[in-house]
Amino acid sequence: MSRHAATSLARAARQFAGVGLIASLAAPAVAQAADDKVFGWVEKATIEPWGVMVKVKLDSGALTSSMHAENIETFERDDEEWVRFDVEVEDEAKGDKVENTFERPLYRDLTVSGAGGRDTRPVVLMTLCMGGERYEEQFSLRDRDGMNYPVLLGRRTIQSLGVLDVRKTFQTSPDCAEDAPLHRYEDKEYSDRIGAAS
């Protein structure tokens, strides 16, 4: 066999092996995508039961989800701590600024450390409609007025949604009927590794 023929044969073998490797890597992702809903890194959701549509960012770098809130105050009701807060956002369906006041039981306090020091934020349970289903999740409350997205979804929430495809946006529609499935936070099972770094 000539040197040229041997080189061509070796090149063809490498290309064939590369195609086989790519196919084997792609197969599990395709199988998983067929079973689960696929969400892009930016989606639209409605805050329930308010029904206002907002843009949400799915951020796998965050553990706990966050929602824009102003005038946050805690108070007591029936010997329990509650939180009252205002949510002012742009309604993506109408293009208008809208505002609503919510009152929710305090679920826990979240302490965040960063370049600016330590910050403690209240965490409450809120419900979003995404992809035709409702999800009750933990949301830390903070003023996100200077952020591009009023709602950020962290790993705890993303884990219960489906597959995150960081190459895409707006893969689902936030249309929820009154009888849309509701995934209650207390009924969910979360991976023990969801907050682990390694």
pLDDT tens track for 11-49: 554 554 443 433 333 444 444 445 689 999 999 999 999
Q: What is the mean pLDDT of the chain?
A: 85
Residue 182 has pLDDT above 60, yes or no: yes
49 preceded by cis ω (within 30°)?
yes
Residue count of the chain:
198
How far, in Å, CA of 84 to CA of 126, rounded?
Answer: 13
SS3 145: coil
Predicted local distance difference test score (pLDDT) of residue 3: 56
Is pTM beyond 0.85? Reply is no
- Is 60 exceeded by the pLDDT of residue 113? yes
Considering only residues 21 and 121, tell me which one the structure prediction assigns the higher pLDDT.
Answer: 121
83: Cβ contacts below 8 Å, ≥ 6 apart: 72, 73, 74, 75, 103, 104, 105, 106, 122, 124, 141
Portion of the chain with pLDDT greater than 70, in percent: 79
| CA 42/CA 153 separation, integer angstroms | 10
* Contact between 102 and 88 (Cβ < 8 Å): no
Q: What is the chain's percent helix, strand, coil content, to nearest 5?
A: 20, 45, 35
Which residue's entry shows tokens 């951020």?
A: 59
Residues 6+ apart with CB under 8 A from 125: 104, 105, 107, 136, 137, 138, 139, 185
CA distance 139 to 56: 13
